[in-house]
Structure 1
Amino acid sequence: MKKYKYIIGIDPDAKASGVANLDVEGRKLIRCEVMKFPELINYVTREYSYASTVGVPLIVIVEASWLKESASGNSYNWHIKERDSKRVAAAKGAGVARNQETGRKIVEMLKYHGVEVVEIYPLRKCWNGPDGKITQGEIEQFIPEFPKKSNQETRDSALLAWNYAEFPIRIKVQPKLK
């Protein structure tokens, strides 16, 4: 795998996507926040343009949940419960579709601007948070100086970048509370 100085991880969301810029050599996050679509495109293209100008390798990683399909051909990166009504299930499906389309548009726009983008499958959900998502306490254990306050999108984008850099993820395992 090509060595990159910077990895930008993006967790797409219809309202505001998580964006994390990882300095691979320094093993630290330069930026980790949520951005609306236009701001995200502006930020990433500006960072990529600057990196290209000075000859620094940078890559963008986008979580592409649309790549993950069930046997029926539908994406299964969402969490329907047996007790959910048809209305709730439809709303969850519509939300997933909006997020997936946002992700597709992010990839399309960045490629249009000449940015090197990789679409990756969603990471396995094996954490202690709701629906197996990573918690603040868990991510703070392996990413130095991670922001003390974050939301799920920023944690997921940082995890994408950290994982793509193939950095170790070591945490103290604690049983899930019921």
Structure 2
Amino acid sequence: MHRFVIGIDPDISKSGVAIWDREMKRWVLWKAFANEDLIDEILKICDPSSALILLEAGWLNKKSNYRKTAGRRVSEAISRKVGQNQASGQLLMRMLEKQGFIVKEIKPLVKGVLKRDGSWTVTGRKFIEENTGIKSRINDEVRDALFIVLISNQRALF
């Protein structure tokens, strides 16, 4: 079993990262990093052999046609951003694997009332705070990374 479980929510330029130390039973990192700095920041805490990375992989979702109601330009902009986000995640995954990390692709988890229209709700923020003990300000990508690790501790995602 790996000592560290790392949740990553990849994005185009910055990705949310959360690292849980199973031995110490505590969070050792929760922050968003520029993608080009992310691997160096993880390596400051753990080596690849002691960590399991759970990477949110939006490309595992079925194609969505939710853009039918939007205008063509809006639809194209959303599609472009989704494609860029997925490409960033896939590139990040390959870079982590090249570094020697074991990376498991995780289908985006259903968050129900915790998230609405892509943003964490007050209920969702409270859930993360109560279940992690983290009270500092964090962005939604970091919350997503924390959520991946939280859920992986409750049920087998890997």
Gaps of 5+ in 2: none
Percent of aligned positions that are identical: 28
Cα shift readout 1:115-147 (whole Å, capped 9, x = no counterpart): 111111110131343226543222112112x14
What is the letter of the counterpart of residue 130 of structure 2?
Answer: Q
In structure 1, C-alpha distance between the alignment counterparts of 2:16 and 2:140, rounded to whole Å? 8
| Divergent runs of 4+, >6 A | none
In structure 2, C-alpha distance between the alignment counterparts of 1:133 and 1:99, rounded to whole Å? 16
Alignment of 1:158-173 (within 5 A): 158-166=146-154
Instruction: Give the aligned partner of residue 127 of structure 2.
Output: 138
Which of residues 138, 152, 155 is equivalent to 1:150?
138
In structure 1, C-alpha distance between the alignment counterparts of 2:117 and 2:148, rounded to whole Å? 17
In structure 2, C-alpha distance between the alignment counterparts of 1:30 and 1:47, rounded to whole Å? 8
Relative to the length of structure 1, the TM-score reads: 0.76
Relative to the length of structure 2, the TM-score reads: 0.84
In structure 1, C-alpha distance between the alignment counterparts of 2:115 and 2:106, rounded to whole Å? 22
What is the letter of the counterpart of residue 152 of structure 1?
Answer: D
In structure 2, C-alpha distance between the alignment counterparts of 1:24 and 1:162, rounded to whole Å? 12
Higher normalized strand content (fraction of residues): 2
1:108 aligns with 2:94: yes
Q: Which one has the largest radius of gyration? A: 1
Higher normalized helix content (fraction of residues): 2
In structure 2, C-alpha distance between the alignment counterparts of 1:119 and 1:129, rounded to whole Å? 21
- What do you get for the CA RMSD once the two structures are aligned? 2.2
Cα offset, 1:58, TM superposition: 1.6
Cα offset, 1:161, TM superposition: 1.2
Which of residues 10, 16, 19 is equivalent to 2:17?
19
